[in-house]
Amino acid sequence: MEYYIAEGDSIRRAGMKYLVKKIVTLIMTLFLVSVLAFLAFQIIPGDVVTSILGTEATPEREEALRKELGLDKPPVVRYFRWAGNVLKGDFGESYRYSKNMNQMMPVAELIGDKLPVTLLLAAISMVLIAVIAIPLGVLWARTKNRFLDVVMNMGSQTAMAIPSFFLGVLVTYLFGILLKWFSPGGYVSYRENFWGCVRYLIFPAISVAIPKIAMTARFLRNSMLTESGSDYVRTAYSKGASERRVAYGHVLRNAMMPVVTFLGMIVAEIVAGSIVVEQVFSLPGIGKLLISSISTRDFPVVEILILYITFVVIVVYFLVDVLYRVIDPRISNK
Amino acid sequence: MIKIKHLSVAFDGPEVVKDVSFEIGDGEILGVVGESGSGKSVTALTLMGLVAETARVTSGEIYYDDQLLLEAGVPRNTALYREYQGQKMSMVFQEPMTSLNPTMKVGAQVEEVLILHDRQGSSYETKKEAKTPEAKNGLAGWHQRRLEEKERRRARVLGALRGVGLRDVERVYDCYPHQLSGGMRQRVMIAMAVILHPGLIIADEPTTALDVTVQNQIIDLLKKINQEQKNSLLFITHDLNLARRLCDRILVMQDGCIVEEGITEEIFSDPRGDYTKKLISAVPGRTGKKKSAHQKLKEAQGKKGDGKKQELKPLVEVRDLSVSYRENANSLFGKTIKKTVVQNATFDLYEGEILGLVGESGCGKTTLSKAILGLNKMVEGSIVHHSNSPQMVFQDPYSSLNPSKTIGWLLQEPLRAQGILDPSKAMTEKDRVAAAYDMLHKVGLKDKYFTRRPSQLSGGQRQRISIGQALITRPGLVIADEPVSALDVTIQAQILDLIRSLQEELKTAFLFISHDINVIYQVSDRIMVMKDGKILEIGDTEEIFRNPKDPYTKELLR
Amino acid sequence: MKKVGAWFKKQNAYFLVGLVMTGLAVMLGILSFFWTPFSTTAMSAAERFHGPSLRHLFGTDNFGRDIFSRVMQGIGTTVIVSSLIVVISAGAGILIGAITGYFGGILDEIIMRITDAINAFPSILLALVVISILGSGKQNVIFSLGIVFAPSYVRIVRSEFIRLRDADFVCRARLMGVKKLRILFVHILPNIWSVFWVSVTIGFNNAILAESGMSYLGIGVQPPDASLGKMLSDAQGYLGRAPWYALAPGLTIVWIVLGFSLLSEGIRRKEAGKR
């Protein structure tokens, strides 16, 4: 007699193996990214030393500064020193910002309270996307009204076409200048008033979120329509299940699986979008610092910022991957 | 019990079911037989209230025990249908792999039928409970009752699973569909269909996606359920042999019409319609008389005297061949597991013969064929080839022709490739085109197809082109891997005829692979039976059929 | 003429509307290299902050310059820059994707690890890294975004080649003795065009959005090259006084991007209809 049931034990073992493999890949990607981030700034045309001291400096002074910055060592040594310091929490010092007369500003301090602003903005955007896009997508998939379908389709196409910074300008104009729901530039620090800060951040978050909401709703709708054509949906109807029950009890759960991955994939874009939108709303996040550091070629700051943002993105990818595995029973046995 | 009167159904275009009327009696097994596109599935889905929303019922009505279920021109009463679906009639579908919700546990899916029809399903049990003295009140009592109900439902589900021949049902209950084999899933589907003892069960090609041995078990199960529960069964199939084994009465459908109706044995012994006759003769059965190329060849051989076979030159000599795969080969740390798919295969393939290779899916027959072509890397043992550039014909007519090219281009490509490899065989453009046209005619297609693309051809026509493409360079050997399995029975017969006649003309040797022993019987000179990677027996076709030695071969021949 | 008419009838609405929208934009952009209604540098104190009118379709800016003419020039830059970005990234994508997808093996593994790492960077961030190394300017924007978008094409082309390399018709071509390069580019490649064109039109969108975003941040295309993003950031300070100044370049970007989206949707549906 045909007989095959996977042993619970072997599933668990496969799960552990998968997790270990994933963590190893995660660490390898992090390593590779840090190497890329570091190496990128080693091939810079034009010398940092010249750019700090100007072209008038004496060779001796240049030599001294080079030694001070550790630039006389080979790149591999410098990478491991740098990476080691980063792991210890020492992010180096800025080339540009000085703390006082004889000390440069540590990057950690410079980033300090700017990072939470950006992450908070990204998080609010993510919440907006999840809360709005999913019901919208379900509604869209279930509507039989052709007119509503066309409206949703055109609306989502348009929303996806608006760049987030222009959306920021529109939101500023509409809610800030016409409706006066918030005063542009009137940011409140999250340390002083957390909810006030969140209230202000909602508007930039809307600018980040709208195109992604359109994308996600569209994705979910297509996913649900694809699933609706599946054989198991027909089976469910054959049991006498109502359309509503089939949609929520069978289709949605299966349709959500790829959406979870999709949401994870747009995390990177949300973070990037946050950086741009910060400029529009003049938020004191890392976006502004990043742009100004790039313009002034303040590489230690740029390096750390890039590393930081990428780490966040990679870790989110990792978590989504693991989450997907937890919620989708099919994968555990593949 | 079921009456269908003058039913016609249309989608956007013309009607796909035309004026169909029939009745199903209590406890009767009615078979509906037809090829794809004959309207048999649409009829069943309409009866079941599951046909797509784009379908329009243009005429007729459906009664269930004198209750009007469906009427032309009146929108489907979904509320009424929901009462019937699952409770008074239920359906088993063709694809056990996809017909169960992949993210829901099997037990919960069976249980859903009970939940949906709870009011009627457990009413008498609730009454019983009310009589018990310590009937609890309040929230705790309600919760308690919920738990008890749940427990009762679980017991019923487990009972139903056991009833369809599943073992270890507690564990099956908590499995996801992908953890079960195809046969087990189909049993679960059947459990779902019979748990409320509906008066009518519709089975739409329930065994088509399954292996022969499993197929037999499922057919036996359906028979058993019919005898025990006394419900009617509407059995839809393309396979006349299956219908014959199971059904009391048979309807034959073609192009949306019923062309023949009658008691099973009468239809077989005395078919009236032309189409039915064609269908019966097309069935690759052991009953159908055949006079084929290889028989003539054999007769000719026979005249030369016995023992001549040994003097035939072997084209391929396979000795002690084992083929294995590495699993998890690309994982980082996971140990690679060597999985042997073919074990110690030893056989010869002679010039100009058709060697049939029969076995169920996963038995290693495709792997073996690929090894012969040198497409597998991990091979032990030896293969000695005396043939030049063997070609292959695949099962799926839709993926075996490059969709972006024209038929003419496709037929010329082997010649072009040959010319590049071996300049002495290079042909001029004009010769190539002429050769391509010649082959087009040989496989029975007209000139106009030369400039068409594969998407404009039917499955059978594509398979003809595939065969032509394989034969155009006149290879000594062609491996045909399930070349007719994706085709309708009548088309199947045509393609098998084509292969036989081309084989006779060109004297090409074929290794013909199929899961269907009847197809193998029709084309092959010799048969090789494979199971679990091992060759069980090899022998002349007639001999194996008359006198199968291995018990597995006997099961296949059942 | 009849042929053109028949061709139009065969296309779907998405494709046609998209074609008209992008076609109009591209034509305006190319026209701007030869002619604009007003000089884009001529300032006029008398005509500061005029609203849209027949004379100035999109109004005038804080220097009294004609916004429509400046938008035209901005489109011109955007069209050139994004086309070059797409050519670089899609070209690299086809070449690398085809070879890694078909042959697999260690090379594939290495290239996939690298594209994975690149993909982990948010795309604009990666462009910023390249810009911060090379400095801003048109060429550097093209180069950096070309690199940034290449991995997505590599992925698409590679997965198509992986899907098709084991297809029955490819297996049979191998048995016929067709040479590897011929299999790659004659047998397989024509079958991925539909997927490829869809991703090219989407690639245009990403390129336009990224280019204008970087210009908005002040690290993209630099003056004297006109740029829609830069205009938008200039206009932001006058949002209360002259909203049209910001709306003109912003809506122009939306117009072009929407056009390409519809175009790609049209192609997708057309291909889906074929099957």
Strand ranges for B217-274 from DSSP E:
232-237, 249-254, 257-263
How confident is the model over A77-133, as pLDDT tens digits? 888 888 888 887 777 777 777 666 667 777 777 787 788 888 888 889 999 999 999
Confidence of residue B337 (pLDDT cuts 50, 70, 90): low
Give the Cα separation of B159 and C22 in Å (integer).
65
Most confident of A46-50, A73-77, A310-314: A310-314
First to last CA, chain A: 23
Give me the pLDDT at residue B124, please: 41
Distance from CA of A219 to the nearest CA of C (A): 14
How confident is the model over B160-194, as pLDDT tens digits? 998 888 888 888 898 888 888 888 888 899 999 98
How confident is the model over B467-479, as pLDDT tens digits? 999 989 888 889 9
* Mean pLDDT value of segment A226-253: 88
CB contact B41 to A (< 8 Å): no
Nearest to A250 among B78, B101, B214 (CB): B101
Give the Cα separation of B335 and B350 in Å (integer).
41
CB contact C127 to A (< 8 Å): no
Which two structure tokens, joined as six digits, stand for B46?
């309409």
* Mean pLDDT value of segment A21-46: 76
Instruction: Name every chain A residue with its beta carbon within 8 A of the beta carbon of B92.
Output: none
The closest of C262, C272, C271 to C20, measured between CA atoms, is C262
Name residue B357's beta-bridge partners: B513, B528
Identify the CATH number of the domain defined by range B313-390+477-496+509-558.
3.40.50.300
CB contact B96 to A (< 8 Å): no
Say if strands B509-514 and B232-237 run parallel, antiparallel, or are unpaired. Answer: unpaired
Give me the pLDDT at residue B329, please: 42
Q: Quote the pTM value.
A: 0.80
Confirm if B498 and B487 have CB atoms less than 8 A apart. no
* Mean pLDDT value of segment B92-105: 87
Give me the pLDDT at residue C91, please: 92
A229-243, B353-367, C48-62, C159-173: which range is least confident on average? C48-62
Query: Position C166: which residue type?
Result: D
The residue ranges of every structural domain in chain B are 2-97+201-282, 313-390+477-496+509-558, 398-474
Q: Which burial class, exposed, middle or buried, applies to A324 when counting CB atoms under 10 A from its CB (0-12, 13-18, 19+)?
A: middle
The closest of B191, A171, C215, B198 to B206, measured between CA atoms, is B191
Q: Does residue B508 register a pLDDT over 90? A: no
Give me the pLDDT at residue B120, please: 47
A18-27, B86-95, B351-360: which range is least confident on average? A18-27
Give me the pLDDT at residue B286, please: 54
Which positions ≥6 away from A218 have C-beta within 8 Å? Answer: A137, A140, A156, A160
Give me the pLDDT at residue A184, please: 73
Angle (CA) B274-B277-B279 rounded to 5° is 110
Q: Does residue B229 register a pLDDT over 80? A: yes
Instruction: Name every chain A residue with its beta carbon within 8 A of the beta carbon of C125.
Output: 271-272, 275, 306, 309-310
Give me the pLDDT at residue A128, please: 92
Q: Which is more confidently placed, B124 or C114?
A: C114
* Number of residues assigned to chain A: 334
Q: Does residue A332 register a pLDDT over 60? A: no
Confirm if A77 and A83 have CB atoms less than 8 A apart. no
Which two structure tokens, joined as six digits, stand for A228?
């609706």
Give the Cα separation of B531 and A302 in Å (integer).
64
Instruction: Name every chain B residue with its beta carbon within 8 A of the beta carbon of C169.
Output: 399-403
Give me the pLDDT at residue B333, please: 47
CB contact B382 to C (< 8 Å): no
Angle (CA) B258-B263-B268 rounded to 5° is 85
Q: Does residue B450 register a pLDDT over 60? A: yes
Q: Which domains does chain A have, with CATH numbers?
A: 2-108 (no CATH), 119-333 (1.10.3720.10)
* Mean pLDDT value of segment A256-278: 82
Which two structure tokens, joined as six digits, stand for C191?
């079958």
What is the secondary structure of C124-143 as a DSSP string? Answer: HHHHHHHHHHH-SSHHHHHH
Give the Cα separation of B82 and B88 in Å (integer).
10
Selected for mutation to probe chain C from B388, B394, B402 (highest C CB count within 10 Å) is: B402
Give the Cα separation of B122 and C155 in Å (integer).
55
Q: Does residue B40 register a pLDDT over 70? A: yes
Q: Does residue A40 register a pLDDT over 80? A: no
Give the Cα separation of C254 and B17 in Å (integer).
50
In the block, tokens 């390096």 appear at A303
CB contact B38 to C (< 8 Å): no
How confident is the model over B396-409, as pLDDT tens digits? 888 889 988 999 99
In the block, tokens 């499922």 appear at B218
Report CB contact under 8 Å: C229, A272.
no
Residue A24 CA from chain centroid, whole number: 21
Query: Nearest-CA residue of chain A relative to C130?
Result: A40
Q: Which domains does chain C have, with CATH numbers?
A: 16-35+57-274 (1.10.3720.10)
Nearest to A163 among C119, C213, C265 (CB): C213
Give me the pLDDT at residue B177, please: 87
Q: What is the 3-state secondary structure (H, E, C) of C32-82?
A: CCCCCCCCCCCCCHHHCCCCCCCCCCCCECCCCCEHHHHHHHHHHHHHHHH
Would B2-97+201-282 and B313-390+477-496+509-558 be classified into the same CATH topology?
yes
* Mean pLDDT value of segment A138-147: 86
- What is the ipTM score, two decimals? 0.82
Instruction: Name every chain C residue with its beta carbon within 8 A of the beta carbon of A162.
Output: 250, 253-254, 257
Report the mean per-residue pLDDT for chain A.
Answer: 80
Torsion of CA B421, B426, B432, B435, to 10 degrees: -90
Q: Does residue A149 register a pLDDT over 80? A: yes
Query: Which chains are within 8 Å of C by 3+ CB pairs?
Result: A, B
Confirm if B290 and B317 have CB atoms less than 8 A apart. no
Give the Cα separation of B45 and B35 in Å (integer).
16
Give the Cα separation of B207 and B216 in Å (integer).
9
Beta carbons within 10 angstroms of residue B340's beta carbon: 16
A187-201, B1-15, C16-30: which range is least confident on average? A187-201
Give the Cα separation of B549 and B528 in Å (integer).
12
Which positions ≥6 away from A333 have C-beta within 8 Å? Answer: A6, A11, A14, B176, B178, B179
| Low pLDDT (below 70) residues in chain C | 1-2, 120, 273-275
Instruction: Name every chain C residue with its beta carbon within 8 A of the beta carbon of B391.
Output: 172, 175-176
The closest of B59, B74, B77, B63 to B15, measured between CA atoms, is B59
Confidence of residue B297 (pLDDT cuts 50, 70, 90): low
CATH 3.40.1550.10 is the classification of domain B2-97+201-282? no
Q: Which burial class, exposed, middle or buried, applies to B310 when counting CB atoms under 10 A from its CB (0-12, 13-18, 19+)?
A: exposed
Give me the pLDDT at residue C274, please: 64
Q: Does residue A72 register a pLDDT over 80? A: no
Q: Which burial class, exposed, middle or buried, applies to C231 when counting CB atoms under 10 A from its CB (0-12, 13-18, 19+)?
A: buried
Q: What is the 3-state secondary structure (H, E, C) of B29-91?
A: EEEEECCCCCCHHHHHHHHHCCCCCCCEEEEEEEEECCEEEEECCCCCCHHHHHHHECCCEEE
Nearest to B103 among A2, A239, A329 (CB): A329
Long-range contacts, stretch C48-56, CB < 8 angstroms, 24+ apart: C49/C238, C49/C241, C49/C242, C49/C245, C51/C242, C51/C244, C52/C244
Instruction: Name every chain A residue with its beta carbon within 8 A of the beta carbon of B117.
Output: 240
Give the Cα separation of C61 and B397 in Å (integer).
64
